[in-house]
Amino acid sequence: MRGLIIYKGPSEFDGKPIVAVLVFSAGNGKTKSPALWVLPDIEVKDGKGYYSTAREAARSVCGGCPLFDVTDDKGRHGTACFAWAHALPIGGVLRSIDVGNYVPDFEMRKIKAWAELEQPRRLRNAYIGDPAAVPRHVLEPMLQFMESWTAPLGYTHQWRKKKNQWLQSYCMASVESVHDARVAAANGWGVFRVGLHDEDPLPEETWCPSQARGMSCAACGQCDGRGGRRIFARAHGVKHVVRRIERVIKRRSAQTAGATP
């Protein structure tokens, strides 16, 4: 068993089928934690069509995230999302669900037994997809239960929507401009802002310790939505993805220039 299926049903974004799984050993090197993955519930077949099929269906779990699809000056499309830019694990987990490596746990009995046994240090919510895609009546009890063991860490781009304000207790608002960071903070959110590759944090922001000094998220734990923290990190990763992220930052910053929070 590689993990547990906690939800299988319609997306809160568009009503299309999604699946939310707790992957026991899913975190990247920075996170080093078990993680919730929110994925489009599609059949994965080997072959060239998989990536485009999964990408199209992923709108059901990524919502209107500005990093999902970025168009460059020449009209070429690409993603600025680290998860989709390195999409192999997504297909692997979907295949693994298909062959029965993930066990349904809609009553959350197994997840409690797992947490009591493993006592996870952190939970990443959600490593792929936006937690707001999962219905609140499913996700909130799991997050509340997990808090007996560990503060979940998470991010949402859906922080503006009234119905998602409950996520303030568990997630950071994920933003790409100083203006949006100030608006989210003024509305009670902890904020994670990604900046240009050569940008520095604002005085009210803390530089993400993972980027500043190589600390793991498990050791840091600041992105738990609590305490109104303002975290900053420079766009990083492979060059073409950084270029796309910076495109999103510049566009959003231009759109909001001069606006008051």
Which residues are near ligand SF4 by CB under 6 A?
153, 208-210, 215, 217, 220-223, 231
For ligand SF4, which is the closer residue by CB, 5 or 215? 215
Rounded to a whole number of angstroms, the minimum distance from the CB of residue 164 to ligand SF4 is 20
The tokens for 260 are 């008051």
Residue 159 to residue 12: CA distance in whole angstroms:
14
For ligand SF4, which is the closer residue by CB, 126 or 217? 217
Rounded to a whole number of angstroms, the minimum distance from the CB of residue 162 to ligand SF4 is 26
User: Within 13 A of 73's CA, how many CA atoms are on the CB side?
Assistant: 2
For ligand SF4, which is the closer residue by CB, 79 or 216? 216
Rounded to a whole number of angstroms, the minimum distance from the CB of residue 101 to ligand SF4 is 28
For ligand SF4, which is the closer residue by CB, 13 or 192? 192
User: Residue 120 contacts by C-beta under 8 Å, 6 or more apart in sequence?
Assistant: 33, 34, 146, 149, 150
User: Residue 139 contacts by C-beta under 8 Å, 6 or more apart in sequence?
Assistant: 6, 7, 20, 125, 131
Residue 252 to residue 261: CA distance in whole angstroms:
14
For ligand SF4, which is the closer residue by CB, 85 or 220? 220
**Secondary structure of residue 4 in the 3-state scheme:** strand
For ligand SF4, which is the closer residue by CB, 9 or 209? 209
Rounded to a whole number of angstroms, the minimum distance from the CB of residue 192 to ligand SF4 is 7
The tokens for 245 are 């992220």
Tell me phi and psi for residue 201, to 5 degrees. Answer: -65, 155
The tokens for 221 are 């734990």
Examine residue 126 and say whether the peptide bond preceding it is cis (omega within 30 degrees of 0).
Answer: yes
Residue 212 to residue 185: CA distance in whole angstroms:
22
